[in-house]
Amino acid sequence: MLYGAIVLLKPFMLIKSDTCRKQWKLSKTVGHNVPRLQPFCPYIEEKFLITMSFLLCAAVGAAVMMLAGFHVYLACTAQTTIEYHGNWANKRRAMQQGQKWKNPYSLGSKAANWQFVYGSKLPWYSALLPSKRRPEFLPIPIPGYERKSLQEQEQPLLQQGKNANDVEMVV
């Protein structure tokens, strides 16, 4: 959508120019076979279409960028969209009681939360690509349970001869 807005930006900006007004007056007197006086200068019939196309592309592109920014925020705070609403309500309730509330999933820094969500072994731009990797850590906070990687958690199971995928975790 942003590509469409960029492509339509020049014709959109030229709609108010004197050159386009001259072209429109010339097309009214001579007819529709008037050559373009300036590249990208739309004909009068194209004015509405270019304006609406540009506005639609710009609006949808802005909405997608805001959604992407919100999801980067969620990854940096180690939340899902559902947890965001629940955490917002819990934080508001704690503020009314004069207490400070902290997200139980947050590791303290944005970089640590990003690595918690997307992993630490890959570069940051790999978050844009699909992945089949297993998470490095448990995705749920367990009180009194130290944050260990899944490989460290699976070692006792492997020593007992059990497959980690066959064991159900009870929380």
pTM recorded for the entire structure: 0.63
Q: Is 33 helix (H, G, I), strand (E, B) or coil?
A: coil
- Angstrom CA distances, 166 to 109, 128, 156, stand at 33, 31, 14
Contact partners, residue 54, CB within 8 Å, separation at least 6: 4, 5, 8, 9, 11, 12
Helix residue spans in the chain (DSSP H): 2-14, 18-30, 47-76, 81-96, 110-118, 150-159
CB 84 within 8 A of CB 106: no
What count of other Cβ atoms lies within 10 Å of the Cβ of residue 12?
Answer: 20
CB 112 within 8 A of CB 75: no
Q: pLDDT tens digits for the chain (171 residues)? A: 667 878 888 888 888 888 888 888 888 887 767 777 777 788 778 888 888 988 998 899 999 999 999 999 998 888 888 888 888 888 899 999 999 888 887 888 888 888 877 777 777 777 778 877 776 666 665 565 555 555 555 555 555 555 545 545 444
